[in-house]
Structure 1
Amino acid sequence: MTPLQDAELTRLTLGFVPLLDAALPIIAREGGFFAAEGLEVTLSRENAWSTLRDKVAAGLLDGAQMLAPLPLAMSLGLGRAPCDTLAPITLSRNGNTITLSRTLAERCGADYRDAPADSARALGAWLTDHPERRPRLGMVYPFSCQHYQLRQWLALGGIDPDRDVELAVLPPPRMVEAMQAGEIDGFCVGEPWGSLAQHRGGGRIVATGAQLWPDHPEKVLGVTASWAERHPATLAALIRGLTGAADWLGASPEHARQARDWLALPPYLDRAVSHLETLAPDTGPARQRLGGDLRPSPAAMAAMAAHLDQALRARGGRLAPARLSACYSPVHFDAATHQERA
């Protein structure tokens, strides 16, 4: 093991979007795991992924919780000017729900306890009988697992995502409100928004990302490659703080309940988690995992990378395996977790 080096930065700001899989940065801050690494971390709540993306690229944030495809999309220049970005640690797996308004779900008879293909076919059959209806479905960002999982689920039911429904981009915190107001008929988003819609009686979960892409990485820590190059010891300290938070979270049910209480603080998710009692892993329809194997892996990103490659091919390009490997390389994670205190 190599000795720890002093962090180049001791004060830094990380962005997050209010979702359950912002848990590890929040736990690391509130539980003192960042402080134990000599870091004073401010967490900046951003309601839209595009805003968070641009702030990281511009250096206004040192890093952020990100959608798993986002670092690669940024590196490839999909959605904005290219900015080489890395994902040195995985923050969560699973956690997405496809939720329809209660009215639409009851009319078509879709339910997540069915296989995803069955619930999708139920919607497809209803749409065939009601061709005048073109449901509007929300997703959080064009280059996201939520978008790709929603399209895959629709296709299982013979529904053309580009013809039979309208897909709209909305920030995660707007989903439940928009569905209650009749602006959308359903959505695919990370927790707690799907279970909150169901808890309030306005929606029904009909499929999950865990059913479609079991155990797929959902959120990662994202930093620009230039930031990582300038601050390797700071990045290592961040990784150790996050792994410490994950170990603590999984150590006892009491810790999972305490983590829920931290997320319920007003700067974080506030009342959006009031219906939850705990952050115990792998529970509920979403089967969300906020700990476990945090080591990034290019191979684990295969399903997501195929969609980004398709987007590139539509522009006359293609995804180089070396770019995928560089973006999700475990080299920073391994270096950080194999250091010891002098």
Structure 2
Amino acid sequence: MAEKPAIRIGYLKITDHLILGVTDLKLKKGMEKFDHCTLNPVVKNGWNEVADALATKSLDGALILAPTAMDLFKSGVDLKLLLFAHKAGSILVKSKRAHIEKIEDFAGKTVLIPYQLSVHNMLFYKLLSEKGLKPGRATDKGIDVTLEVVAPFQMPEALEYDEEGEIGGFIVAEPFGSLVIAKGYGEEFYLSKDLWPKHPCCVFVVRNEIIQKHPEAVQEICNSFVRSGLAIDAQPSPASVIGGDFLSQDKDVIFKVLTDPPDRILTGELFPIIKDLDTIQKYMMDEMKIMTSLIDLEKFVDTGFAKTAGAK
């Protein structure tokens, strides 16, 4: 019998990627068994690392920002989107030192985002533009708010050491927002689910070459992810312990993220919604001008694996 392939899946240490942590633990403890592959989670520090590793084929798949995945597909990386990794789950935090009371107070400040091609950037852009404020990079002309791309895990430290309050805050995946709030440097300004209920953010993509070569392996990973997502939603307490370990974070902070409020992050509905992905790419092209063309989502998204897995 041929040796089972090891499927390398990239991720960041964020709550959005907890389905991978739960599946990994179930396999290690023998609570689940894969017949067609072994799972090899590969941690990365930032989104550029994940994107580059997919492009150079050093990863077989990844949990990655939806717009970044779309951009990779557009640039010729042969990927398929198979599942959402979660819905909602991010937070806009204001720095206590920046004296932010309303959206307009972000004017003249720097705000940290995890990546340009991210739903975080889109949600914050929409929030500002509705108040007539223009965000952009420090080199752009006529901007009101400076956006700076910083890896999620570096954001708490950036806020902590910004004694002058030049950083207004950041918008990012949890648990980094809740971490800063717990340490006393920031306050919740908005939860992303209140800006766009049940919005997509990270998605599970696999290189098409791997799907063609090992469809049964890809299916059993999708099956497990869907089960893990349902388990996280149903049992946040044990999930937060697993999350604390897998993400190297405080389990109490993870528990708060999973439960307060209950719909802060949703992992039980992973079926890919093409209409929502289309909303993202059209907004990024028409309003933000950071995408130059649209992709054919019917070619990019393969819902067959999600259907077989029973994803909701």
TM-score by length of 2: 0.86
> Relative to structure 2, which stretch is displaced further, 30-39 or 299-308?
30-39
Quick one: which amino acid aligns to residue 249 of structure 2? Answer: R
RMSD: 2.7
2:240 is matched with which residue: 255, 260, 264?
260
**Corresponding residue for residue 158 of structure 2:** 178
Contact 1:89 1:295 in 2 (8 A): yes
Q: CA deviation at 1:158?
A: 2.3
Distance 2:86 2:133 in 1: 29
1:295 is matched with which residue: 227, 249, 271?
271
Contact 2:8 2:61 in 1 (8 A): yes
Name stretches of at least 5 consecutive residues in structure 2 with no aligned partner: 137-142
Distance 2:180 2:127 in 1: 19
Q: CA deviation at 1:20?
A: 0.4
**Corresponding residue for residue 17 of structure 2:** 22
SS for the counterpart of 1:271 is coil
SS for the counterpart of 1:277 is helix
* 1:193-272 to 2 correspondences below 5 Å: 193-251=176-234, 255-265=235-245, 268-272=246-250
What does the per-residue CA deviation read over 1:125-162, in whole Å, with 9 as the maximum and x for residues that have no partner? xx4xxxxxx21111111111011111111222322113
Distance 1:311 1:85 in 2: 26
> Relative to structure 2, which stretch is displaced further, 137-146 or 298-307?
298-307
Q: CA deviation at 1:244?
A: 1.7
* CA separation of 1:207 and 1:278: change in aligned 2, threshold 3 A: closer
Distance 2:238 2:232 in 1: 9
**Corresponding residue for residue 152 of structure 1:** 126
Quick one: which amino acid aligns to residue 324 of structure 1? Answer: L
* CA separation of 1:275 and 1:231: change in aligned 2, threshold 3 A: same
Distance 2:297 2:3 in 1: 27
Contact 2:94 2:169 in 1 (8 A): yes
Distance 1:34 1:55 in 2: 30
Distance 2:182 2:288 in 1: 39
- Give aligned pairs, total: 299
Q: CA deviation at 1:177?
A: 0.6
* 1:1-342 to 2 correspondences below 5 Å: 9-32=4-27, 35-38=32-35, 39-77=37-75, 82-104=76-98, 107-109=99-101, 119-121=102-104, 123=105, 127=107, 134-162=108-136, 163-182=143-162, 184-251=167-234, 255-265=235-245, 268-277=246-255, 280=258, 283-284=260-261, 287-291=264-268, 293-310=269-286, 318-320=293-295, 323-337=296-310
**Corresponding residue for residue 131 of structure 1:** none
Contact 1:176 1:196 in 2 (8 A): yes
Q: CA deviation at 1:279?
A: 6.0
Distance 1:221 1:164 in 2: 35
SS for the counterpart of 1:257 is helix
What does the per-residue CA deviation read over 1:288-338, in whole Å, with 9 as the maximum and x for residues that have no partner? 1122x21112112232121343499778x5315xx1222223123224549
Distance 1:62 1:329 in 2: 16
* CA separation of 1:273 and 1:171: change in aligned 2, threshold 3 A: farther
Contact 2:243 2:249 in 1 (8 A): no
Q: CA deviation at 1:34?
A: 8.7
> Relative to structure 2, which stretch is displaced further, 325-334 or 205-214?
325-334
* CA separation of 1:238 and 1:185: change in aligned 2, threshold 3 A: same
What does the per-residue CA deviation read over 1:143-202, in whole Å, with 9 as the maximum and x for residues that have no partner? 110111111112223221130111111111001111111173311101111111111110
Distance 1:201 1:279 in 2: 17
Q: CA deviation at 1:57?
A: 2.1
Quick one: which amino acid aligns to residue 177 of structure 1? Answer: E
Q: CA deviation at 1:62?
A: 1.6
Distance 1:184 1:313 in 2: 24
Q: CA deviation at 1:278?
A: 5.6
* CA separation of 1:161 and 1:278: change in aligned 2, threshold 3 A: closer
Name stretches of at least 5 consecutive residues in structure 1 with no aligned partner: 1-5, 110-118, 128-133
Max radius of gyration: which structure? 1
